[in-house]
Amino acid sequence: MITLTSAEENYLKAIYHLSDGGKKGVSTNDVSAEMKTKPASVSDMLRKLGEKEVIEYRKYYGLHITEEGKKMALQTIRKHRIWEVFLVQKLKFSWDEVHEVADALSHVKSKSLIQRLDEYLGYPKFDPHGDPIPDEFGDVRVRPRLPLNEIELGSTGQIVAVKDSSPAFLRYLDKVGAYIGARIKVIDKTEFDGSVEILVDNKKSIFMSKDVAGNILVMV
């Protein structure tokens, strides 16, 4: 049985995300930038992960996560997102506060703990940021969604997730009143700079830059 340290789990999770779920290769520089770590330290960690056969290196194609690596990454992601739901729903953390706490809790090895927590929460399908929660078998429920800046003028939809989950961005969304689950309508789009104006819940009008709108995901 493969056992990973907390640091190794974090690296594996990062590689999984960078590789788009194992669909493409990842460079050492990509991992270094994602983990905010010097390339020398990254190379040492990648060597360890390679020895445990959760990643492999292919010349000209970069790093690839193995099938076993995918399973382990998805279980870490599952635990992280379930803990985020618990922290927001039961302990009343705000959605911009939970990442670091959930990250620490996601490395707890008890399988029965996460199973009971999942049951206690009513088997949630999505975390507070709208990201899908893998089930115990690693299956992920995917729903169609588009960046808000790509929604056509006059179209309606529902905010279901955010691409940027940094605390600063989430606090900004709280400030302007754009939240997961909000019903929106695109009422204006500016060709010059790509900014948009949306109507939230048929009540409040919000102007957004192209960058902000591009980080909000909508199901139409």
**What is the Cα 1 distance to its own chain's centre?**
27
Q: What is the secondary structure of the chain as a DSSP string?
A: -----HHHHHHHHHHHHHTTTTTS-B-HHHHHHHHT--HHHHHHHHHHHHHTTSEEEETTTEEEE-HHHHHHHHHHHHHHHHHHHHHHHTS---TTTHHHHHHHHTT---HHHHHHHHHHTT--SB-TTSPBPP-TTS-------EEGGGSPTT-EEEEEEES---HHHHHHHHHHT--TT-EEEEEEE-TTT--EEEEETTTEEEEE-HHHHHTEEEE-
190: left (phi over 0), alpha (psi -120 to 50) or beta: beta
pLDDT of residue 92: 96
- Please tell me whether residues 152 and 188 are part of one structural domain: yes
Angle between helices 28-35 and 6-18 (to 10 degrees): 120
pLDDT at residue number 148: 97
> Nearest-CA neighbor of 139 among 17, 21, 19, 15?
21
Whether residues 118 and 171 fall in one domain: no
pLDDT in tens, 73-89: 999 999 999 999 999 99
Same domain for 157 and 203?
yes
In a domain, 90, yes or no: yes
Confidence of residue 58 (pLDDT cuts 50, 70, 90): confident
Q: What's the rounded mean pLDDT across residues 92-121?
A: 95
115 and 173 part of one domain: no
Q: 151 and 126: one domain?
A: no
State the average pLDDT over residues 48-70: 90
26: domain CATH number is 1.10.10.10
Lowest mean pLDDT among 10-24, 29-43, 97-111: 29-43
Q: Please report, for the domain that includes residue 152, its CATH number.
A: 2.30.30.90
- Asked if pLDDT for residue 59 goes beyond 80, the answer is no
Q: Are the beta carbons of 96 and 171 closer than 8 angstroms? A: yes
Q: Which of 142, 165, 188 is the last residue of a domain?
A: 142
**Residue showing tokens 């010097």:** 38
Burial of 198 (0-12, 13-18, 19+ CB in 10 A): buried
The per-residue pLDDT for range 152-210, each reduced to its tens digit, is 999 999 999 999 999 999 999 999 999 999 999 999 999 999 999 999 999 999 999 99
* CB-CB contact of 215 with 194 (8 Å): no
pLDDT for 80 equals 97
- Do 151 and 205 sit in the same domain of this protein? yes
Domain span at residue 178?
146-219
What is the reported pLDDT for 142?
Answer: 82
Q: Are residues 212 and 157 in the same domain?
A: yes
Q: Given a cut of 90, is residue 141 above it in pLDDT?
A: no
